[in-house]
Amino acid sequence: MRQYLRQRGYLPAAADQAVDKLRSFHYLNDEAFARSWALARAQERGYGRRRIDQELRSKGLDHVLISAALNETFDQVDEAARAKVLLEKRFKGESLKDPNTLRRAAAYLQRRGYESKTIFTLLRYPTEEDF
């Protein structure tokens, strides 16, 4: 936050004072923010680990905080089950045996941030481990 304020042209002393005041009121807590953001995105939007990681990195959070928040979140959320619910909702009435639909489903899950292993397992693609 200090860096952000300095980039916006505020004096370093003013930026430090503002950040310290916000922290004293418990308005500024990167760890709590990362946890709540990750959990909300996973549960409400159905985003996968990669998408949430990318969003939190774009907000300038430390990779250690992001990793801890993602581990905590995905201990509470079953990623494969959530991906299955998304597929059923998005591709309702369409056969996933059709190659075009299967390709679209895989791309949809990939954009939502799901890992390839989860996508391949869910859509029954053969993986390198199967060979």
Q: What is the pLDDT of residues 5-48, one digit of tens each?
A: 777 888 888 888 888 888 888 788 889 999 999 999 998 999 99
Selected residue with higher pLDDT from 56 and 5: 56
62-74 confidence digits (pLDDT tens): 999 999 999 999 9
pLDDT in tens, 94-123: 888 888 999 999 999 999 999 998 899 888
Q: What is the DSSP string of 9-64?
A: T--HHHHHHHHHHHHHTT---HHHHHHHHHHHIIIII---HHHHHHHHHHTT--HH
Residues 67 and 25 in one domain: yes
Q: What pLDDT score was predicted for residue 13? A: 87
Give the whole-angstrom CA distance, residue 54 versus residue 52: 5
Predicted confidence (pLDDT) at residue 129 exceeds the cutoff of 60: no
In contact, 48 and 109? CB cutoff 8 Å: yes
Do 104 and 56 reside in the same domain of the chain?
no
Measure the CA–CA gap between 127 and 86, rounded to whole angstroms. Answer: 22
Longest CA–CA separation in the chain, Å: 62
pLDDT band at 130 (very low <50, low <70, confident <90, very high): very low
Q: Rounded to an integer, what distance in angstroms lies between the CA atom of residue 110 and that of residue 18? A: 40
User: Same domain for 65 and 21?
Assistant: yes
Range of the domain at 61: 2-76
